[in-house]
Every structure is written in structure tokens, then in C-alpha cells.
Homo-oligomer: A and B are copies of this chain.
Amino acid sequence: MSTFGKLFRVTTYGESHCKSVGCIVDGVPPGMSLTEEDLQPQLTRRRPGQSKLSTPRDEKDRVEIQSGTEFGKTLGTPIAMIVKNEDHRPHDYSEMDKYPRPSHADFTYSEKYGIKASSGGGRASARETIGRVAAGGIAEKFLKQVSDVEIVAFVTQIGKVKMNRDPFDPNFQHILNTITRAKVDSMGFIRCPDASVAGDMVKEIEHYRGQQDSIGGVVTCVVRNLPTGLGEPCFDKLEALLAHAMLSIPASKGFEIGSGFVGVSVPGSKHNDMFYFDEETKRLRTKTNNSGGIQGGISNGENIYFSVPFKSVATISQEQQTCTYDGQDGTLAAKGRHDPAVTPRAIPIVEAMTALVLADALLIQKSRDYARSVTH
């Protein structure tokens, strides 16, 4: 359904052509400075139309806080936020509406709801993610105040063009230790911090745009400065919650944490993260971080990092040989101009969902910490 989280919880609403999209965020701690200015940057990063390579539509997407703050401080009560839709009239049905768009949600929504919405894909529309990003911004600000938690996502693959993301390569681990959003954004809309491949990624996108086609990519995300102890055995392991969150993002097709798929061919003797005592932080740390910051489902204080593949955009202008809802074979060609690669725009969504998972897990763990401190 449209609610996510236990103690820090977001509920979202809205589709393309209704009056507004938005969310209610419940469980926000009181006494935290918060205005729209804190949230707008990530919403703006999410917007289409940020470069000539992206879709030229210009959604304004100004967030308005409705409740839960007073004089710029949170009250501890639910924070509702809305973003008005520019064009909230459902469109007229056209010839194209006879076709369920291939690999889009039209057919399955029709099966589930019995409705062929004109509303641009209903909840499968990318506009659904606006509420997530607004909510994630609050979670992120809270995490920052807890322990300077940093969440940075970036593009590591577009089509066949990859940057190094080998978990066993110290260079990649160095990137995870140092990457910032400023660095990511300095690379332009492509949001790949590796200058040696970013240009090729742009070309890859241009290539498919030229063919009225689309192409997918991979987003990698790192979390730094997270306390130990987050995550709850056995079904709410921290990586399970993150995987749930990532696979709930439209167009995502997977998730891997730490060494992921590559790690399965590395033997235990090399894969195991040995411990040492860190003189600086005065606590145990691991020499390597193939676990990706989580062991036994619980954060261990090292960087959490994971990757998420996003499939090629389903909406393309090329003609497609498919059939109508009624089973008549025919040719569908989407009108208008379409974004050939949404992967870079997924960055703030990945960051937001990560923040929502972590804020919730942290609130739960702080309760566990307390309980443990009083028992005997």
C-alpha cells in the first residue's frame, strides 16, 4: 500500500493528472528546524527537464508544508506536504489509449483495478515519487542531527558504460569514503562522479535518444556515519528493509549490498571482514567492508553501500508491435518527447528511500538501546 515505516512513517498519494501529489510524514521528532527550503533542493534534483538530454517538460514542483510545524520548528505531529500538479485535467481518450503500453503498468492496473485510467499511469507515474523525496528530506535532516549521517547516491552505469564499482577494489572503497553530492552534481545531469566514463554515458544516452529509444542504468548509494545496531532480526534485517525500499521505486529491477552478485565467487577467507581495534574511534572496525556495513542484518558502523539497476524507460517514441486491450494486433507509438534515461533522476529518490529506512530503523534501535540499559 502507500504507507512505509513503523515509527517514522510516510504515506503518499497522487497521480499525474489529479490536483496535487504529496504525503503525510508521521513520527517526525519535535523541535527540529524545518521549512520548505530544507526539502526543495532534492525535489528540484528529482525534476525532469534539467538538461537537454532529459525530457523538456518543466514541472515546477514547489512543496508546501501544510501542518506539523510552527515558527519553523517541527511539533512532533504529522507533517503533510503537497505539490500541485500543473495540469490536473485527465486527458481525453485517444487511439493510443486502446493499447496497454508494453512494460508499463497499464495492463496490470487494468487487471487489478478494472480501470484504464487516463491519468498517465496512475500510481505508476513517476510523479508518485515526489512525496517520497519530500518525506526523505525530513528523514535525512533528522539523521544528520543524530550523527552527521551522510547519504550519497550516484550513477555507476548507463547502458553498457560502467564506472568501477568493484567492491574488492580499494579505489572504489575510496570513492565510497569521499563522494559528496556536490561532487555528483558537479558532473552535470549525468551524476556519475567518474569523469573518465561520464562523457561516454552521455553519448550512450544521446545514441538511444537519436533512435527514439531508451536505455537503463545503475545507481550506487553509500551511507556514512551510521550508528551500529540498526536493523531487527530476522525479517527486518536492515538490508531487507533497504531492498524493499529500493524495489518499490518505479523501474528498479534489483538490489545488491556490499559484495553483492560479484562476491559469490570470492572465497570466505578473502570475503570475510577481519576486525581490528581502531585507535581513533576507540572501537572495533573491519579491515575490509565486503559486508557493506551490515552483518547479521544489523549495521556494524562501516559504510553501507548498495547498487540498484533501473531498466530502460518503457515509454518510447518508436513504433511497437503489440496489441490492444481487446486483443487486436496493432502498432503503438507514444506521442511527444520522452526521457531516454531516467537513471540520473533516480538519484534523489534512492537517497530519500534510504533516509526513510534508516530514520525508522534508528528510532526503533534507540528504543532497544534504552530497554537494554535498564534491564538486569
Contacts and interface: CB of A to CB of B under 8 A. Distances in A.
Contact of A367 (B111, B286, B363): B363
A200 interface: no
A300 B107 contact: yes
Interface string A297-316: 11111000000011111111
A128 interface: yes
A186 interface: no
Given A13-B66, A268-B312, A369-B370, 17 more contacts: A1-B27, A2-B233, A29-B371, A32-B375, A71-B90, A76-B115, A76-B372, A107-B284, A108-B229, A108-B231, A211-B269, A253-B256, A255-B255, A264-B309, A264-B311, A268-B314, A272-B314
A54 interface: no
Given A215-B268, A235-B2, A253-B260, A298 B364 contact: no
A197 interface: no
A274 B234 contact: no
A140 to B, nearest CB: 13
Interface size range of chain A in the complex: 35 or more
A44 interface: no
A227 B165 CA distance: 38
B248 A214 contact: no
B375 A296 contact: no
